């Protein structure tokens, strides 16, 4: 469906950011009591008017399928290169590329129990969308659960002002896993998000969305009923009672049917059409699938009321500081934030709409803070006595000498009292509870330099600032600060430049990046961070076994069944990698990696196919050097098929240790064994990506791993 001509909408980037922020806020509001009925919620809190995670002893920022699915499945538009013309079948391919079965993004509740798990199984069986999610194949009950609705907001965010286009994208995306009323609900949600960019009347927004589905559908009838009930009383609880009586959970089967939950969303929109705070209070207090419902309501409301409306009655932004955990099979953005993800969606949306590409803020800085309230995940570390209350972080208009906006650090430090502000670059075990497995690789690696450009405000006393990298484990837990950059004196009203180079011998990945401010005596003032930039290229080595913490290879994304230290083999520690069935990968790195050489010593104990991987962009997009039978092959994996780029006789036997390497220098790929060139080929399809290992039905051991960038 080609996009109609529509002029670039003023403020598109900010409203898109507000919409995604609204969705994330909804998840973090509703997740701690997901599944609770209204009566239980009211008994404990009366009404939900704040983040209540601490009341439940739970973290605020968690991995959640509402966020992960939304930000993962929309990548189909970009990955296909077809954008608005991306077919339903390619959305299914995107699932297979980014989802690690049993681990990431979805609730893996079992075939016939979890709708998404059922659809994923159908995709693996060879069914393409829309068959993979169809009623004909999976049955009406399975196909009409809530999942399509909760994953669909991206289709509206990339089609601003075009509810018809958002609806068409939503139909294709939703058909991977759902059918029937679930698709109608997803279409309405996506179309409402799109319409909210240009419409301010909630009933008009809803009408434009309902025009995209059959008038005789149950979703359409539900809307008519809830609108009638809401019009009869200003008390949302009376409307809720009628919904519970006519569209309650007892009327629909399955674990989480779309109809009852969609009805509650309509309730919130109609009773709080212009009030973000009240809409979140209603949808969360109403219960049922609270994180999903609050996220969908929050996305529409965020676009509609904008950033000022989101924070009009409660500061929703500062507590989470925009943090998002986004675990997929491709680890580039596993630890990310709302502004980074909104910027990605904006780039996609501009192509979909036929608009020019956006300019990169502040020369393409990694963190630029150029959006009201955006903090890129930076929070004051208040968990320890020495740092508690020593700093407050906020997003403000940049002071004189800087442009745009900046992150303000208001500090008050003294001997024994240190200000420490940090953002995660890799999700760490204390931050991962919540039911969804974290597979992640960091954004920062040895060989890279981080630079902070800043401006000092008023300062009382003598204070110093420096960047730090948290990297290390003590007693099985993430702990010590191992890396500091040079300290700089804070001089009032002067520019400041802080930097840190990640050392080559880091034994563990970088968990957090931060700014530390301290003083030998009391000092207070303001530091304004203009931008955080990255330079340099990764140069890594693991001479022995890979770092493993709580059964996870730290900083590596794993779809293998087992990876663990294997004592000493041939006089050196090694890492064993095992795969029980099918193909598994263990990879690190990110989409910024271009030309490099990846090498390791490898011993194949038994495997149908095994070797090295480079240019990794997911489970279905990478280059590999593999031993298969008596041959060595260079192959390109591309959505279900292995294209052989070159092959030769294998120069070694199983169980032997050999040094293998893959050099990628666009478009040339060179494979070596024990220092001698073995294979060479060219590929112009995959230009960037991470590196690692592949094993298909078998077990291998690896050691002496290194990556050198050019």
The 10s digit of each residue's pLDDT in 359-371 is: 999 999 999 999 9
Does the pLDDT value for residue 2 go beyond 80? no
Q: Between β-strands 596-616 and 657-665, what pairing exists: parallel, antiparallel or unpaired?
A: antiparallel
Task: Read off the DSSP letter of residue 419.
Answer: E
Nearest-5° Cα angle at 705, 702 to 708: 155
Comma-separated ranges of CATH 2.60.120.560 domains in the chain: 540-709
Of 630, 625, 624, residue with least CA distance to 653: 630
If you count DSSP H runs as helices and E runs as strands, how many of each does the chain have, helices first? Answer: 19, 29
Backbone φ and ψ of 634, nearest 5°: -95, 120
Does the pLDDT value for residue 3 go beyond 50? no
Q: What is the mean pLDDT of residues 684-690?
A: 95
Using CA atoms, how far apart are residues 337 and 450, in angstroms rounded to an integer? 18
pLDDT score for 267: 98
Alpha helices in 46-82 (DSSP H): 65-73, 75-80
Q: How many residues does the chain have?
A: 710
Comma-separated ranges of CATH 1.10.4080.10 domains in the chain: 12-325
Q: Which residues pair with 616 in a beta bridge?
A: 690
Three-state SS string over 90-136 comes to HHHHHHHHHCCCCCCCCCCCCCCCCHHHHHHHHHHCCCCCCHHHCHH
Using CA atoms, how far apart are residues 477 and 427, in angstroms rounded to an integer? 13
CATH fold of 379-536? Jelly Rolls (2.60.120)
Which residue matches tokens 């580039």?
A: 332
DSSP string, 581-643: EEEEEEEE--TT--SEEEEEEEEEEEEEEEEEEEEE-STTEEEEEEEETTEEEEEEEETTEEE
Comparison of pLDDT for 671 and 432, the residue scoring more: 671
Comma-separated ranges of CATH 2.60.120.200 domains in the chain: 379-536
Using CA atoms, how far apart are residues 591 and 398, in angstroms rounded to an integer? 31
**Which of the four CATH numbers 1.10.3720.10, 1.10.4080.10, 3.40.50.720, 1.10.357.10 does domain 12-325 have?**
1.10.4080.10
pLDDT score for 480: 65
Backbone φ and ψ of 398, nearest 5°: -65, 140
Is residue 652 classed as helix, strand or coil in its secondary structure? coil
pLDDT score for 653: 84
Backbone φ and ψ of 699, nearest 5°: -145, 135
The 10s digit of each residue's pLDDT in 65-120 is: 999 999 999 999 999 999 999 999 999 999 999 999 999 999 999 999 999 999 99
Does the pLDDT value for residue 569 go beyond 60? yes
The 495-501 sheet, strands edge to edge: 391-397, 405-413, 523-536, 448-460, 495-501
Using CA atoms, how far apart are residues 39 and 458, in angstroms rounded to an integer? 51
Of 329, 337, 325, residue with least CA distance to 434: 325
Three-state SS string over 555-584 comes to CCEECCCEEEEEEEECCEEEEEEEEEEEEE
The 10s digit of each residue's pLDDT in 408-455 is: 999 999 999 999 999 999 987 644 445 577 889 999 999 999 999 999
Using CA atoms, how far apart are residues 96 and 78, in angstroms rounded to an integer? 16
The 10s digit of each residue's pLDDT in 253-311 is: 888 999 999 999 999 999 999 999 999 999 999 999 999 999 999 999 999 999 999 99
Of 536, 356, 428, 594, residue with least CA distance to 59: 428
Q: What is the mean pLDDT of the chain?
A: 94
Cα dihedral value 674, 678, 682, 688, nearest 10? -20
Q: What is the mean pLDDT of residues 38-63?
A: 95
Backbone φ and ψ of 198, nearest 5°: -120, -10
Using CA atoms, how far apart are residues 500 and 70, in angstroms rounded to an integer? 34
Q: Where are the strands (E) in 301-385, listed by range?
A: 323-325, 335-337, 379-380
| Sign, Cα dihedral of 284, 286, 289, 295 | negative
Cis peptide before 586 (omega within 30 of 0): no
Q: How many CB atoms lie within 10 A of CB 457?
A: 18
Q: What is the mean pLDDT of residues 5-24?
A: 92
Using CA atoms, how far apart are residues 292 and 31, in angstroms rounded to an integer? 8
Q: Which residues contact residue 289 at a Cβ distance below 8 angstroms, ignoring those fewer than 6 apart?
A: 34, 35, 146, 256, 261
Which residue matches tokens 């929703």?
A: 316
Quick one: residue 667, left, alpha or beta (phi over 0 = left, psi -120 to 50 = alpha)? alpha
Backbone φ and ψ of 247, nearest 5°: -130, 25
Does the pLDDT value for residue 673 go beyond 50? yes
Does the pLDDT value for residue 621 go beyond 60? yes
Using CA atoms, how far apart are residues 402 and 455, in angstroms rounded to an integer? 8
Which residue matches tokens 């953005």?
A: 333
Of 294, 20, 350, 17, residue with least CA distance to 162: 350
The 10s digit of each residue's pLDDT in 324-381 is: 999 999 999 999 999 999 999 999 999 999 999 999 999 999 999 999 999 999 999 9
The 10s digit of each residue's pLDDT in 605-614 is: 999 999 999 9
Using CA atoms, how far apart are residues 316 and 387, in angstroms rounded to an integer? 23
CATH 2.60.120.560 fits 540-709, yes or no: yes
Task: At 635, list the tokens.
Answer: 């192959």
Using CA atoms, how far apart are residues 687 and 664, in angstroms rounded to an integer? 9
pLDDT score for 476: 66
The 10s digit of each residue's pLDDT in 133-144 is: 999 999 999 999
Q: Are the C-beta atoms of 572 and 544 separated by less than 8 Å?
A: yes
When mean pLDDT is compared across 92-101, 207-216, 454-463, 498-507, the lowest value belongs to 498-507
Q: Which residues contact residue 170 at a Cβ distance below 8 angstroms, ignoring those fewer than 6 apart?
A: 148, 152, 155, 156, 183, 186, 187, 189, 190, 191
**Rg (alpha carbons) of the chain, rounded to whole number:** 26
Using CA atoms, how far apart are residues 88 and 90, in angstroms rounded to an integer? 5
Using CA atoms, how far apart are residues 42 and 53, in angstroms rounded to an integer? 16
């Amino acid at each position: 469906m080609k996009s109609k001509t529509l002029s670039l909408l003023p403020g598109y980037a900010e409203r898109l950011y507000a919409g995604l922020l609204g969705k994330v806020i909804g998840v973090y509001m509703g997740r701690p009591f997901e599944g609770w009925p209204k009566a239980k919620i009211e008994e404990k809190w009366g009404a939900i008017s704040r983040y209540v995670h601490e009341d439940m002893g739970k973290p605020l920022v968690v991995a959640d399928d509402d966020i992960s699915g939304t930000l993962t499945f929309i990548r189909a538009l970009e990955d296909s290169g077809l954008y608005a013309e991306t077919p339903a079948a390619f959305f299914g391919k995107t699932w297979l590329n980014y989802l690690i079965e049993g681990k990431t993004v979805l609730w893996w509740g079992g075939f016939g129990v979890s709708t998404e798990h059922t659809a994923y199984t159908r995709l693996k069986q060879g069914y393409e969308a829309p068959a993979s999610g169809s009623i004909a194949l999976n049955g009406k009950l399975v196909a009409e659960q809530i999942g399509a609705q909760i994953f669909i907001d991206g289709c509206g965010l990339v089609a601003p002002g075009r509810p018809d286009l958002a609806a068409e994208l939503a139909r294709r995306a939703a058909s991977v896993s759902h059918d029937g009323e679930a698709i109608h609900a997803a279409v309405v949600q996506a179309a409402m998000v799109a319409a909210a960019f240009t419409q301010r009347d909630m009933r008009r927004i809803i009408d434009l969305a309902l025009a995209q589905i059959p008038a005789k559908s149950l979703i359409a009838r539900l809307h008519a009923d809830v609108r009638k009930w809401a019009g009869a009383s200003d008390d949302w609880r009376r409307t809720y009672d009628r919904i519970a009586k006519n569209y309650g959970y007892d009327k629909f089967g399955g674990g989480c049917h779309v109809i009852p939950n969609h009805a509650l969303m309509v309730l919130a929109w109609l009773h709080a059409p212009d009030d973000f705070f009240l809409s979140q209070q209603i949808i969360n207090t109403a219960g049922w699938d609270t994180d999903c419902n609050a996220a969908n309501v929050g996305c529409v409301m965020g676009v509609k009321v904008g950033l000022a409306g989101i924070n009009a009655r409660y500061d929703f932004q500062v507590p989470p500081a925009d943090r998002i955990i986004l675990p997929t099979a491709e680890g580039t953005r596993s630890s990310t934030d709302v502004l980074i993800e909104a910027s990605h969606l904006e780039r996609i949306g501009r192509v979909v709409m036929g608009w020019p590409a956006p300019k990169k803020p502040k020369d393409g800085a990694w963190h630029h803070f150029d959006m009201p309230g955006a903090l890129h995940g930076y929070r004051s570390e208040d968990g320890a006595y020495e740092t508690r209350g020593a700093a407050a972080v906020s997003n403000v208009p940049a002071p004189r000498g800087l442009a745009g906006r900046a992150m303000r650090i208001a500090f008050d430090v003294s001997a024994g009292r240190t200000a420490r502000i940090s953002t995660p670059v890799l999700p760490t075990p204390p931050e991962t509870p919540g039911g969804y497995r974290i597979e992640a690789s960091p954004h920062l690696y040895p060989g890279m330099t981080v630079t902070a450009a800043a401006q000092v405000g008023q300062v009382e006393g003598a204070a110093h600032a420096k960047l730090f990298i948290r990297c290390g484990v003590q007693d099985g837990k993430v702990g010590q600060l191992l890396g500091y950059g040079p300290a700089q004196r804070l001089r009032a009203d002067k520019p400041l430049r802080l930097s840190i180079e990640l050392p080559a011998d880091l034994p563990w990945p970088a968990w957090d990046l931060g700014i530390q401010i301290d003083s030998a005596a009391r000092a207070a003032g303001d530091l304004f961070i203009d931008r955080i930039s990255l330079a340099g290229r990764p140069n890594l080595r693991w001479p022995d076994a890979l770092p493993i913490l709580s059964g996870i290879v730290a900083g590596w994304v794993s779809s293998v069944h087992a990876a663990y230290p294997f004592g000493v083999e041939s006089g050196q520690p090694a890492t064993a990698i095992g795969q029980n069935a099918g193909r598994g990968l263990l990879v690190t790195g990110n989409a910024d990696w271009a030309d490099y050489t990846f090498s390791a010593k490898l011993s194949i104990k038994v495997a149908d196919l095994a070797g090295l991987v480079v240019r990794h962009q997911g489970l279905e997009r990478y280059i590999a050097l593999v031993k298969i039978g008596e041959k060595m092959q260079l192959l390109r994996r591309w959505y279900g098929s292995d294209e052989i780029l070159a092959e030769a006789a294998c120069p070694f036997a199983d169980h032997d240790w050999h040094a293998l390497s893959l050099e990628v220098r666009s478009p040339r790929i060179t494979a070596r064994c024990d220092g001698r060139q073995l294979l060479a080929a060219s590929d112009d399809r995959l230009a960037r990506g991470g590196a690692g290992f592949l094993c298909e039905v078998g077990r291998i051991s690896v050691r002496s791993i290194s990556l050198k960038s050019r």
